[in-house]
Amino acid sequence: MAVKRYDGYRSFAYLGEAERRLELADEEAISQRVTLTPEQRRRLEGIVDLGLVISLRDHGFVLPAHQGEILDYCRQPRTAYAYRGLALSGVDVLFDSFMDSLAFFSSGRQVTWHDLLTNLGMRYCDLAHQDTVVVARGLEDFWRAKRSRQVAVVPCLEMPDPIEGDLDRLDVLYGFGIRCMGLTYNHANAFGGGCADPVDQGLTALGRQAVRRLNRLGIAIDLAHCGEKTSLQAIEASEQPVLMSHVGARRLWDVPRLKSDAVLKACAEAGGVVGIMAAPFTTQVTGQPHTIEAVMAHFEYVANLVGIEHVALGPDTLFGDHVALQRVFDAHLGLSATHEVPKSGFSGVLGMENPREAMQNALAWLVSHGYSDQEIAGVAGANVIRALRRIWLEIQPSENRAIESSENPLL
């Protein structure tokens, strides 16, 4: 898959070498490659050359190489972004929350409005000093980035808590480039119930108002971390399709973080898209190690349940020790209430440990398992594009019609 342009820039290099405080994780690490024959490799290259490779959730975030430095590193806003790793990833479009759920800089307990804007502004400042990653505000930016051999990043938020109930701040966030937003992050808030709640009370009155405002603005609603009742009610309340950017099938692994058949079907029936995740301790299968094979078992289950045209990939990976990060922030984020987070053992999801390898390996897996060119093109990006045209209230640009529409034989 095509390598993007990269000129050697490292995050915040404009401040001078003194800012390189820590040894960081290897951005080029590969845990496993899915083996393809030369013919299969050429076929995959042909598919991705014609269309877009879209990760519905991954993180350009780079962790320190040493676990003991993670907490202090995450409590300040100048965290590194993996420009080199993303240039090698084969990804054209990345939905990234910029780790907003960890951006509790001022209080140490919750993400405030000031924290959120600091996190966004600091990341945008760093992005402005390099030429590998560009911020996408619409579909045309996806294609422009691909033509320019750049990665388009779609800024997202995991939850709207920092707006503190002021819906006009959603408009402000749209102005700051946010194009996808969750309603809750594991636990209940003023908008609805989270997947970690023993009882989900459902979408609140403020939540319904937020859904309407997000629809009007053209911000995609993401239900990945929402509870069952809140998810179903949000799907019903939304005038546009919704996303579940990084989830799996609860039928295969019964933990609250994954989605029931009812929620998966409701999302698809409303025209939405389900992104299959690969974060540690999530998309597992009983009796199997958590590797790419388990992740793709969730993919196949969901595709058979709702139709492959409603399925995409949202690996939810980052650069560095994801398992260590989960252990460090378990108590704050309520992770162990949504899925098991063992105190020791387990080193990562073989074959899908970071953005450098996750999308490439998942698409190669589809090729090696006999999926058609059209199906692979859909999962790679076309399924997401179809939903985003409605969600983002966009008219398809004429110059891209052949490559996005039925005129393209792959789609």
pLDDT in tens, 50-65: 999 999 999 999 999 9
* In contact, 358 and 55? CB cutoff 8 Å: yes
In a domain, 33, yes or no: yes
Q: Domain total for the chain?
A: 1
The H or E element that residue 325 is part of is helix 322-333
Tell whether the model's pLDDT for residue 398 goes beyond 70. no
Helical packing angle, 261-269 and 292-306, nearest 10°: 60
- Residue 213, domain CATH: 3.20.20.140
Residue-level pLDDT at 409: 47
Does residue 384 lie in a domain region?
Answer: yes
Q: Is 2 among the domain residues? A: no
Per-residue pLDDT reduced to its tens digit, 64-81: 999 899 989 998 999 999
DSSP state letters, 77-112:
S--EE-HHHHHTS--SEEEE-TTGGG--TTTSSS--
Q: State residue 195's pLDDT score.
A: 95
Check whether 230 has a pLDDT greater than 50. Answer: yes
Q: Is residue 182 part of a domain?
A: yes
The residue segments making up the domain with residue 256 are 22-126+153-404
Residue count of the chain, please give it: 411
All residues at 6 or more sequence positions from 249 whose CB lies less than 8 Å from its CB, including other chains = 258, 259, 261, 264, 283, 298, 301, 302, 305
Tokens for 132, please give them. Answer: 């590998």
Q: What is the pLDDT of residue 105?
A: 82
Q: Within a domain: residue 41?
A: yes
Average pLDDT over residues 318-332: 84
109-133: pLDDT as tens digits: 789 999 999 999 999 999 999 999 9
Q: At what angle do helices 168-175 and 205-217 cross, to 10 degrees?
A: 30
User: Given this model, what pLDDT does residue 87 score?
Assistant: 98
- Cα 42 to chain centroid distance, Å, stands at 27
Examine residue 145 and state whether it is found in any structural domain, yes or no: no
CA atoms of 100 and 96, how far apart (whole Å): 9
How far is residue 204's CA from residue 218's CA, in Å, rounded to a whole number? 21
Q: What is the mean pLDDT of the chain?
A: 92
Under the banding of pLDDT at 50, 70 and 90, the label for residue 338 is low
CA dihedral 46, 313, 381, 196 (to 10 degrees): 180
